[in-house]
Structure 1
């Protein structure tokens, strides 16, 4: 079974900490992947098609006021969930992972907010516990520290396996949103 992943970067600035962490995460999965920087204004329809085609979606976002970025929120607001007559559900039953970045460790609960939306509203399967990286996880050059790289790689490997398990479980992928 060949898998594919989609990484969405919710930073308004391409190539930042979220992008750096996502690259290491996806590399560790061993699964072919595509990365889309939402700050570069991709076509919304192309994004929806990419999410539909992928076996797993990774949401990499900076944390603003203990929440995901507005770019991630805009993507989700424009994504149907197969409820109430909607024709599409690109995240339904899909393996997803959360990678939040922020300056301070105290904002780690932002991961829970996005997890709740993905799992309950979209019926996506979310790799827990999620990943939160703060300023101390990066060196002065903007690269991940060795310890952080190990942590990110562990989550990436787990997501590669998780994606295969979710894709191979039709009863799981058939679950619908709460309402």
Structure 2
């Protein structure tokens, strides 16, 4: 099973990449092959199509995901046989400078669930400054939460793989 992590930060690896990496550690502990790329990677859409599940990570800007991640999502087809996210399990992980921005995860989860027809793991994860130490490292409780989420994503992916009904669900548009 392949689980891909996407770092949607427009400024390079930072806190978002760290927490997505911890989610991938949890999936790897269950036996998944994992990889982390930036949303600007030239082969990002192809890598998403090859993945069994995807962790979408983004910093929060104006209570929503980054424009860099939005650009990547706009490149992904959702019609017919070219719909690489249809029925794909996904997790949402976001970082932000204020606790008040936690609802930004719902915006991204809604796009993934409603527009692309993914099976989004709930609840989404949101990390704010108290989840990081003074050097920008993730605190132990947050790391454990990420790893648990990664293990749960692995289990959701296995469930979707083994279910005809879950794989057949499509957005009603």
Task: Write the distance in 2 (CA, Å) between the matches of 1:159 and 1:63.
Answer: 22
Indicate yes or no: 2:26 matched with 1:32: no
Task: Write the distance in 2 (CA, Å) between the matches of 1:122 and 1:54.
Answer: 15
> Per-residue displacement from partner, 1:34-84 (whole Å, max 9, x unpaired)?
21112xx321xx2222111100011010000000001111111111112xx
Residue of structure 1 in register with 2:138 after alignment: 144
Shift of 1:18: 0.4
TM superposition score normalised by structure 2: 0.94
> Structure 1: 5+ residue runs without aligned partners?
none
> Structure 2: 5+ residue runs without aligned partners?
none
RMSD, aligned CA = 1.1
Q: Kindly tell me the number of residue pairs found equivalent between the two proteins.
A: 170
TM superposition score normalised by structure 1: 0.91
Equivalent runs, 1:160-175 vs 2, <5 Å: 160-175=154-169
Alignment match of 2:19 (pick from 18, 21, 26): 21
Task: Write the distance in 1 (CA, Å) between the matches of 2:105 and 2:11.
Answer: 20
Task: Write the distance in 2 (CA, Å) between the matches of 1:175 and 1:131.
Answer: 24
